[in-house]
Amino acid sequence: MTTVTDSALLLALLDAAADAIVVADSAGTILRVNQAAAGLFGHSTDSLTGQNVRALMPDVMAEQHDGYMHHYLNTGEKRIIGIGRDVEGQRADGTVFPVHLSVGRADIDGAVAFVAILHDMTRRKAAEEAAARSQRMDAIGQMTGGIAHDFNNLLTVVIGNLELLNMAETSDKSRALIADALEAAELGADLTSRLMVFARKSSLRAEPIALNGVVAQSLAMLRRTIGAQITVEAALADDLWTTCADGTQVQTAVLNLALNAQDAMPEGGRIFIETRNMVLDDTYIAQEIGVVPGRYVRLSVSDTGEGMAPDVSSRAMEPFFTTKPVGKGTGLGLSMVYGFVKQSGGHMTIYSEIDQGTTISLYFPVLSDALDQAAPTGQRDELSQTLGRGQLVLVVEDDPRVMRLSEARLASFGFRCITATTGDAAWQIVQDRDDIILVFTDLVMPGTLSGHDLAERIAQHRPEVRVLVTSGFSEGVLRGGRISSDFAILRKPYRQADLAQALTTVLAPR
């Protein structure tokens, strides 16, 4: 029987661990890392060995590291060792991400070594942030519902007494004053009714509807009322599933979103309305809290306007929050739409970029429980075996969570991946390497080159390299001037089957 050596067993244990493990000496020099650590930080195991652990930390933490270690070795006071704490790590591409760090000490032949175990907290932090947003919206909804209920009672008394007074009054002057008061009270009642929609406490007349027909009616109204400097276009899916919703509220939602879009384009622009069948699976659920997995019909309203900063878009659905000048809006448009969609069992998302535009999507659950229309497992397995055969893909994405997800998805199809976080860095990589077959890039990127600029340079100087562009904006808006029709677009969020289809099309022989 073969004897397993201690060193072989240690190596096997290290590489079997799902969490990152880094072994370093008292000076911080890395002695050994496992495969999980190399993958987490974007290095190879060989390149990490011999480096100082400061290479895995953001600058602020790296500057303090040696002082912490000297303090511990001199005094024995523990701040992390044997305790554990949440810190930040830094990948090879410079992105910073949250990790939980646990450190243990080992004394070997008179020398001190430290073993660090690091657990990636990115998904947990994202889930906590999404849960906090959801809880904040629920709390605001409960508070708003209570306030609206009390105001409705007050307004009922006010309107009733004004009507009785109007019936008894004979003076024309008094009647005019009463009429003005009644009009103001009814406006207040309308305001509280919209608050009740946000709080999900109003009554909806939900019934099976063909969403395209309802949207078509809204389009007819919009084209008569929207400003001449704004063009309104639509792409309504032919095979749209049936959903259950209040048709009047859907029309109101479309009008609200379109009028908001018009306000975001004072110099003119385009509004694009799109319907599509969607399947929300576990991958999407991981990014958005409060979404039940299943089949949905997506209604998107996009514009080419000013866009919103992240801090604005995160609050855009809160009642009374508005960036419009005083007297130009109540801040209830989006909150009313949000409340209506949630009350219908659906979901609402906002994707926006400064100076690029905004896409707001409403997801309505499908009425029937028909089988999922996704590609059968056998077909997905066949795709995963034939799409990528060790070929190299450059993933260009500035969001670290989306980048890791994209790498994992491409790896499942058999591709190898390298990454870049800006269009400028990606272009340098494309110039330096001749083994890249595909560049998979987000449209909106930091730096000089956008995803479209990068695609155009590749098409001009490296035409043999294929390009697939992804974006959260509606394709109708992108095709209207944001990006050339020469490049393939994959709309976020997308499923694995959507990615497979896009890759098959892009990589097909020309």
CB 18 within 8 A of CB 36: yes
Mean pLDDT value across the chain: 77
Tell me the CB-side half-sphere exposure of residue 352, using CA atoms within 13 A: 22
Residue 194 reports pLDDT greater than 60: no
Q: Among candidates 27, 55, 26, which has minimal Cα distance to 42?
A: 55
Q: Between helices 496-507 and 377-386, what is the axis angle to 10°?
A: 40
Residues 6 or more apart from 326 whose CB is under 8 A from it? Answer: none
Residue 120 reports pLDDT greater than 50: yes
Q: Among candidates 309, 221, 236, 313, which has minimal Cα distance to 272?
A: 236
pLDDT score for 484 = 62
pLDDT digits (tens, 9 = 90+) for 126-174: 766 666 556 655 655 555 555 555 566 666 667 777 777 777 766 777 7
In the chain, the percentage of residues whose pLDDT exceeds 90 is 14
Query: What DSSP string describes 389-449?
Result: SS-EEEEE-S-HHHHHHHHHHHHHTT-EEEEESSHHHHHHHHHH-S-EEEEEEESS-SSS-
219's tokens? 């389009």
Q: What is the pTM of this model?
A: 0.53
pLDDT score for 441 = 93
Which parts of 121-229 are beta strand (E)?
A: 207-209
Q: Compute the 3-state secondary structure of the chain and give helix, strand, coil in percent, each to the nearest 5.
A: 45, 25, 30
How far does Cα 223 stand from its chain's mean position?
Answer: 31
How far is the first Cα of the chain from the last one, in angstroms, to the nearest whole number?
58
The side-by-side arrangement of strands in the sheet containing 85-90 is: 30-33, 20-25, 111-120, 96-108, 85-90
In the three-class reduction of DSSP (H, G, I as helix; E, B as strand; rest coil), residue 273 is classed as: strand
pLDDT digits (tens, 9 = 90+) for 224-265: 778 788 888 899 998 899 998 888 778 878 888 888 888 889
Question: For residues 249 and 267, what is the distance between their CA atoms, to the nearest angstrom?
Answer: 29
Vertex 41: Cα angle to 35 and 43 (nearest 5)? 70
Vertex 113: Cα angle to 107 and 114 (nearest 5)? 120
pLDDT score for 403 = 85
For residues 70-78, average pLDDT: 72
The H or E element spanning position 69 is: helix 59-75
Question: For residues 95 and 122, what is the distance between their CA atoms, to the nearest angstrom?
Answer: 12
Residue 318 reports pLDDT greater than 80: no
